[in-house]
Structure 1
Amino acid sequence: MGQLLDLRPGDDAERLGAMQPGQRLARGVVRHLSSSHGFACLEEFSPTRGLRTDVCALGPKGEVWVVECKSSRADFQSDGKWQGYLEWCDRYFWAVDGAFPQELLPDGTGIILADAWDAVIHRPAPEERMAGARRKALTQRFARCAAQRLSYARDPGWSAG
Protein backbone atom coordinates (compact mmCIF):
# COMPACT_ATOMS: atom_id res chain seq x y z
CA MET A 1 0.00 0.00 0.00
CA GLY A 2 1.14 3.53 -0.72
CA GLN A 3 1.67 6.29 1.76
CA LEU A 4 -1.11 8.87 1.94
CA LEU A 5 1.20 11.80 1.27
CA ASP A 6 3.23 10.16 -1.53
CA LEU A 7 1.33 11.00 -4.70
CA ARG A 8 1.75 8.69 -7.65
CA PRO A 9 1.74 9.68 -11.32
CA GLY A 10 -1.79 10.48 -12.44
CA ASP A 11 -3.09 11.17 -8.93
CA ASP A 12 -4.90 14.47 -8.51
CA ALA A 13 -3.09 16.03 -5.55
CA GLU A 14 -5.70 18.73 -5.01
CA ARG A 15 -8.60 16.24 -5.01
CA LEU A 16 -6.82 13.83 -2.64
CA GLY A 17 -5.83 16.69 -0.37
CA ALA A 18 -9.45 17.80 -0.10
CA MET A 19 -10.66 14.35 0.97
CA GLN A 20 -11.39 13.55 4.59
CA PRO A 21 -9.35 10.66 6.07
CA GLY A 22 -12.33 8.29 5.87
CA GLN A 23 -12.84 9.17 2.21
CA ARG A 24 -9.21 8.25 1.47
CA LEU A 25 -9.76 4.90 3.19
CA ALA A 26 -12.92 4.33 1.13
CA ARG A 27 -11.00 5.11 -2.07
CA GLY A 28 -8.42 2.42 -1.28
CA VAL A 29 -11.14 -0.08 -0.32
CA VAL A 30 -13.05 0.52 -3.56
CA ARG A 31 -9.85 0.14 -5.61
CA HIS A 32 -9.01 -3.14 -3.87
CA LEU A 33 -12.46 -4.72 -3.94
CA SER A 34 -12.92 -3.74 -7.60
CA SER A 35 -9.54 -4.81 -8.91
CA SER A 36 -8.81 -7.85 -6.73
CA HIS A 37 -12.29 -9.28 -6.10
CA GLY A 38 -14.45 -8.09 -9.01
CA PHE A 39 -16.88 -6.08 -6.87
CA ALA A 40 -18.88 -3.08 -8.04
CA CYS A 41 -18.79 -0.48 -5.28
CA LEU A 42 -20.84 2.52 -4.24
CA GLU A 43 -19.65 4.99 -1.64
CA GLU A 44 -22.16 6.71 0.64
CA PHE A 45 -24.93 4.26 -0.28
CA SER A 46 -28.18 4.07 1.68
CA PRO A 47 -29.51 0.50 1.87
CA THR A 48 -32.61 1.77 3.71
CA ARG A 49 -33.92 4.95 5.25
CA GLY A 50 -31.74 6.16 8.13
CA LEU A 51 -28.58 4.25 7.18
CA ARG A 52 -25.71 5.27 4.92
CA THR A 53 -22.77 2.96 4.34
CA ASP A 54 -19.29 4.26 3.58
CA VAL A 55 -18.84 1.51 0.98
CA CYS A 56 -21.38 -1.02 -0.27
CA ALA A 57 -19.88 -3.65 -2.56
CA LEU A 58 -21.81 -5.99 -4.85
CA GLY A 59 -19.83 -9.09 -5.80
CA PRO A 60 -19.75 -11.14 -8.98
CA LYS A 61 -22.03 -13.78 -7.45
CA GLY A 62 -24.47 -11.26 -5.94
CA GLU A 63 -22.84 -11.16 -2.51
CA VAL A 64 -23.06 -7.87 -0.62
CA TRP A 65 -20.34 -6.51 1.62
CA VAL A 66 -20.60 -3.36 3.72
CA VAL A 67 -17.43 -1.53 4.75
CA GLU A 68 -17.40 1.25 7.33
CA CYS A 69 -14.27 3.43 7.25
CA LYS A 70 -12.96 4.66 10.58
CA SER A 71 -10.08 7.11 10.71
CA SER A 72 -9.67 7.42 14.49
CA ARG A 73 -10.74 6.13 17.88
CA ALA A 74 -13.19 9.05 18.23
CA ASP A 75 -14.67 8.34 14.79
CA PHE A 76 -15.27 4.71 15.78
CA GLN A 77 -16.66 5.51 19.22
CA SER A 78 -19.15 8.02 17.80
CA ASP A 79 -20.67 5.40 15.44
CA GLY A 80 -23.80 4.10 17.09
CA LYS A 81 -25.49 2.75 13.95
CA TRP A 82 -23.07 0.11 12.71
CA GLN A 83 -25.08 -2.89 13.98
CA GLY A 84 -28.01 -1.72 11.87
CA TYR A 85 -25.97 -2.48 8.75
CA LEU A 86 -25.56 -6.16 9.58
CA GLU A 87 -28.96 -7.16 8.21
CA TRP A 88 -28.14 -5.39 4.91
CA CYS A 89 -25.04 -7.38 3.97
CA ASP A 90 -23.54 -10.85 3.80
CA ARG A 91 -20.24 -9.68 5.29
CA TYR A 92 -19.42 -6.61 7.39
CA PHE A 93 -15.97 -4.99 7.52
CA TRP A 94 -14.23 -2.08 9.17
CA ALA A 95 -11.63 -0.25 7.07
CA VAL A 96 -8.88 1.41 9.09
CA ASP A 97 -5.29 2.47 8.56
CA GLY A 98 -2.32 0.69 10.09
CA ALA A 99 -2.17 3.03 13.09
CA PHE A 100 -5.78 2.44 14.17
CA PRO A 101 -6.15 0.56 17.52
CA GLN A 102 -7.65 -2.65 16.10
CA GLU A 103 -8.46 -4.04 19.56
CA LEU A 104 -11.45 -1.64 19.55
CA LEU A 105 -13.07 -3.41 16.61
CA PRO A 106 -15.69 -6.00 17.59
CA ASP A 107 -15.09 -9.71 17.11
CA GLY A 108 -17.31 -11.20 14.45
CA THR A 109 -16.54 -8.40 11.99
CA GLY A 110 -13.88 -8.15 9.31
CA ILE A 111 -10.95 -5.75 9.17
CA ILE A 112 -9.54 -4.16 6.03
CA LEU A 113 -6.31 -2.18 6.28
CA ALA A 114 -6.40 0.64 3.75
CA ASP A 115 -4.91 3.87 2.50
CA ALA A 116 -5.88 6.06 -0.45
CA TRP A 117 -4.36 3.69 -3.03
CA ASP A 118 -5.11 0.16 -1.97
CA ALA A 119 -6.24 -2.12 0.82
CA VAL A 120 -5.78 -5.62 2.15
CA ILE A 121 -8.26 -7.85 3.96
CA HIS A 122 -6.56 -8.29 7.32
CA ARG A 123 -9.32 -10.29 9.04
CA PRO A 124 -12.07 -11.89 6.92
CA ALA A 125 -15.63 -11.20 8.01
CA PRO A 126 -17.91 -14.12 8.81
CA GLU A 127 -20.66 -14.72 6.28
CA GLU A 128 -24.27 -14.18 7.33
CA ARG A 129 -26.34 -14.57 4.15
CA MET A 130 -29.24 -12.16 3.62
CA ALA A 131 -32.69 -13.49 2.81
CA GLY A 132 -33.44 -13.69 -0.92
CA ALA A 133 -36.16 -11.03 -0.92
CA ARG A 134 -33.93 -8.55 0.92
CA ARG A 135 -31.03 -9.31 -1.45
CA LYS A 136 -33.25 -8.66 -4.47
CA ALA A 137 -34.56 -5.37 -3.07
CA LEU A 138 -31.07 -4.22 -2.08
CA THR A 139 -29.58 -5.19 -5.46
CA GLN A 140 -32.30 -3.23 -7.26
CA ARG A 141 -31.73 -0.20 -5.02
CA PHE A 142 -27.97 -0.49 -5.65
CA ALA A 143 -28.48 -0.64 -9.44
CA ARG A 144 -30.87 2.33 -9.46
CA CYS A 145 -28.50 4.40 -7.33
CA ALA A 146 -25.53 3.57 -9.59
CA ALA A 147 -27.51 4.42 -12.74
CA GLN A 148 -28.74 7.71 -11.27
CA ARG A 149 -25.23 8.71 -10.24
CA LEU A 150 -23.94 7.95 -13.71
CA SER A 151 -26.74 10.00 -15.29
CA TYR A 152 -26.07 12.96 -12.98
CA ALA A 153 -22.32 12.74 -13.63
CA ARG A 154 -22.88 12.84 -17.38
CA ASP A 155 -25.46 15.66 -17.18
CA PRO A 156 -24.90 17.54 -13.90
CA GLY A 157 -27.30 20.38 -14.73
CA TRP A 158 -30.30 18.07 -15.11
CA SER A 159 -32.52 16.88 -12.27
CA ALA A 160 -35.28 14.28 -12.39
CA GLY A 161 -37.39 16.25 -9.99
Structure 2
Amino acid sequence: MCRAATRFCAMRGWAPVHEMPLPNGRRADILALRPDGCFVVVEVKSCARDFLTDAKWPEYRDYCDRLFFAVDLDFPQELLPDDAGLLVADGADAALLREAPEHKLAPARRRALLHRYAVVAAGRLAALSDPASHAELRAALRVE
Protein backbone atom coordinates (compact mmCIF):
# COMPACT_ATOMS: atom_id res chain seq x y z
CA MET A 1 0.00 0.00 0.00
CA CYS A 2 2.85 2.34 0.74
CA ARG A 3 4.28 1.80 -2.73
CA ALA A 4 0.87 2.41 -4.32
CA ALA A 5 0.38 5.60 -2.28
CA THR A 6 3.87 6.80 -3.22
CA ARG A 7 3.15 6.12 -6.85
CA PHE A 8 -0.15 8.00 -6.55
CA CYS A 9 1.76 11.01 -5.21
CA ALA A 10 4.46 10.86 -7.88
CA MET A 11 1.92 10.60 -10.70
CA ARG A 12 0.49 13.93 -9.54
CA GLY A 13 3.85 15.67 -9.33
CA TRP A 14 3.99 15.48 -5.55
CA ALA A 15 7.34 14.75 -3.87
CA PRO A 16 6.80 12.06 -1.21
CA VAL A 17 9.13 11.34 1.72
CA HIS A 18 8.54 8.14 3.69
CA GLU A 19 8.63 7.90 7.47
CA MET A 20 8.95 11.65 7.88
CA PRO A 21 9.69 12.76 11.44
CA LEU A 22 7.41 15.59 12.53
CA PRO A 23 8.16 18.29 15.11
CA ASN A 24 5.67 16.76 17.58
CA GLY A 25 7.70 13.52 17.76
CA ARG A 26 5.36 11.58 15.47
CA ARG A 27 6.40 10.05 12.18
CA ALA A 28 4.14 10.40 9.13
CA ASP A 29 4.01 7.36 6.84
CA ILE A 30 4.29 9.73 3.85
CA LEU A 31 4.70 13.49 3.78
CA ALA A 32 4.40 14.81 0.24
CA LEU A 33 5.15 18.30 -1.00
CA ARG A 34 2.85 19.39 -3.81
CA PRO A 35 3.89 21.74 -6.63
CA ASP A 36 1.77 24.51 -5.08
CA GLY A 37 3.81 24.30 -1.84
CA CYS A 38 1.13 22.51 0.17
CA PHE A 39 1.88 19.47 2.29
CA VAL A 40 -0.07 16.21 2.26
CA VAL A 41 0.17 13.44 4.85
CA VAL A 42 -0.79 9.96 3.70
CA GLU A 43 -1.43 7.62 6.61
CA VAL A 44 -1.22 3.98 5.50
CA LYS A 45 -3.50 1.53 7.32
CA SER A 46 -2.96 -2.17 6.73
CA CYS A 47 -6.14 -3.41 8.44
CA ALA A 48 -9.02 -2.38 10.67
CA ARG A 49 -7.08 -3.26 13.81
CA ASP A 50 -4.23 -1.00 12.67
CA PHE A 51 -6.67 1.91 12.42
CA LEU A 52 -8.62 1.13 15.60
CA THR A 53 -5.51 0.82 17.79
CA ASP A 54 -3.81 3.93 16.40
CA ALA A 55 -4.76 7.07 18.27
CA LYS A 56 -1.85 9.09 16.84
CA TRP A 57 -3.15 9.97 13.39
CA PRO A 58 -5.16 13.09 14.46
CA GLU A 59 -1.83 14.66 15.49
CA TYR A 60 -0.67 14.63 11.85
CA ARG A 61 -3.27 17.23 10.87
CA ASP A 62 -1.20 19.98 12.48
CA TYR A 63 1.56 19.33 9.92
CA CYS A 64 -0.27 19.14 6.62
CA ASP A 65 -2.74 21.00 4.45
CA ARG A 66 -4.56 17.76 3.60
CA LEU A 67 -4.71 14.35 5.28
CA PHE A 68 -5.38 11.10 3.41
CA PHE A 69 -5.72 7.49 4.47
CA ALA A 70 -4.40 4.79 2.15
CA VAL A 71 -6.03 1.38 2.56
CA ASP A 72 -6.48 -1.78 0.51
CA LEU A 73 -9.64 -3.01 -1.21
CA ASP A 74 -10.69 -5.16 1.77
CA PHE A 75 -10.45 -2.40 4.38
CA PRO A 76 -13.82 -1.49 5.98
CA GLN A 77 -13.92 2.11 4.74
CA GLU A 78 -16.81 3.08 7.02
CA LEU A 79 -14.30 3.12 9.91
CA LEU A 80 -12.39 6.05 8.42
CA PRO A 81 -13.36 9.64 9.24
CA ASP A 82 -15.24 11.58 6.56
CA ASP A 83 -13.01 14.62 7.04
CA ALA A 84 -9.95 12.88 5.56
CA GLY A 85 -9.17 11.89 2.01
CA LEU A 86 -9.24 8.26 0.94
CA LEU A 87 -6.88 6.36 -1.36
CA VAL A 88 -7.56 2.69 -2.09
CA ALA A 89 -4.62 0.58 -3.17
CA ASP A 90 -4.95 -2.26 -5.63
CA GLY A 91 -1.57 -3.82 -6.25
CA ALA A 92 0.95 -1.15 -7.25
CA ASP A 93 -1.70 1.49 -7.99
CA ALA A 94 -3.99 3.60 -5.84
CA ALA A 95 -7.24 5.33 -6.72
CA LEU A 96 -8.61 8.48 -5.15
CA LEU A 97 -12.03 7.69 -3.67
CA ARG A 98 -12.40 10.87 -1.64
CA GLU A 99 -10.54 14.17 -1.80
CA ALA A 100 -9.18 15.46 1.50
CA PRO A 101 -10.60 18.74 2.76
CA GLU A 102 -8.07 21.53 2.98
CA HIS A 103 -6.95 23.01 6.29
CA LYS A 104 -4.16 25.48 5.54
CA LEU A 105 -0.99 25.50 7.57
CA ALA A 106 0.04 28.76 9.17
CA PRO A 107 2.89 30.41 7.21
CA ALA A 108 5.45 30.04 10.02
CA ARG A 109 4.65 26.34 10.47
CA ARG A 110 4.80 25.78 6.68
CA ARG A 111 8.23 27.43 6.53
CA ALA A 112 9.56 25.35 9.43
CA LEU A 113 8.10 22.15 7.96
CA LEU A 114 9.56 22.93 4.54
CA HIS A 115 12.99 23.34 6.11
CA ARG A 116 12.67 20.03 7.99
CA TYR A 117 11.41 18.30 4.83
CA ALA A 118 14.38 19.62 2.81
CA VAL A 119 16.95 18.59 5.42
CA VAL A 120 15.53 15.07 5.76
CA ALA A 121 15.16 14.55 2.00
CA ALA A 122 18.65 15.92 1.24
CA GLY A 123 20.18 13.80 4.00
CA ARG A 124 18.57 10.66 2.64
CA LEU A 125 19.72 11.47 -0.89
CA ALA A 126 23.28 12.09 0.34
CA ALA A 127 23.21 8.75 2.19
CA LEU A 128 22.21 6.98 -1.03
CA SER A 129 25.02 8.60 -3.01
CA ASP A 130 27.71 7.96 -0.36
CA PRO A 131 26.61 5.26 2.11
CA ALA A 132 30.06 4.80 3.69
CA SER A 133 30.42 8.49 4.54
CA HIS A 134 26.89 8.55 5.92
CA ALA A 135 27.63 5.58 8.19
CA GLU A 136 30.84 7.24 9.44
CA LEU A 137 29.00 10.48 10.16
CA ARG A 138 26.23 8.68 12.08
CA ALA A 139 28.83 6.79 14.12
CA ALA A 140 30.72 10.03 14.89
CA LEU A 141 27.54 11.80 15.98
CA ARG A 142 26.66 8.96 18.35
CA VAL A 143 30.07 9.22 20.06
CA GLU A 144 29.84 12.97 20.80
TM-score, length of structure 1 as denominator length:
0.81
Equivalenced residue count is 136
Out of 134, 145, 152, which is 2:109 matched to?
134
Map of 1:63 onto structure 2: 38
Distance 1:145 1:33 in 2: 18
Q: Given the alignment of the two structures, is residue 143 of structure 1 paired with residue 106 of structure 2, yes or no?
A: no
Percent identity at matched positions?
45
For 1:117, the aligned partner's letter is A
Structure with the higher fraction of residues in strand conformation:
2
Out of 24, 27, 30, which is 2:3 matched to?
27
The 1:28/1:50 distance shift into structure 2, 3 A limit, reads same
Query: SS of the counterpart of 1:158?
Result: helix
The 1:74/1:33 distance shift into structure 2, 3 A limit, reads same
Distance 2:126 2:64 in 1: 26
Alignment gaps of 5+ in structure 2 = none
Structure with larger RCO (C-alpha < 8 A, sep 6+): 1
Structure-to-structure mapping, 1:3-22, within 5 angstroms = none
Structure 1 runs of 4+ with >3 Å offset: none
Q: Deviations over 1:22-72 (max 9, x none)?
A: xxx11111111111x110000100121421001111000101000100010
Distance 1:97 1:107 in 2: 17
The answer on whether the counterparts of 1:26 and 1:116 sit within 8 Å (CA) in structure 2 is no
For 2:53, the aligned partner's letter is S
TM-score, length of structure 2 as denominator length:
0.90
Q: Given the alignment of the two structures, is residue 79 of structure 1 paired with residue 54 of structure 2, yes or no?
A: yes
Structure with the higher fraction of residues in helix conformation:
2
Query: SS of the counterpart of 2:69?
Result: strand
For 1:119, the aligned partner's letter is A
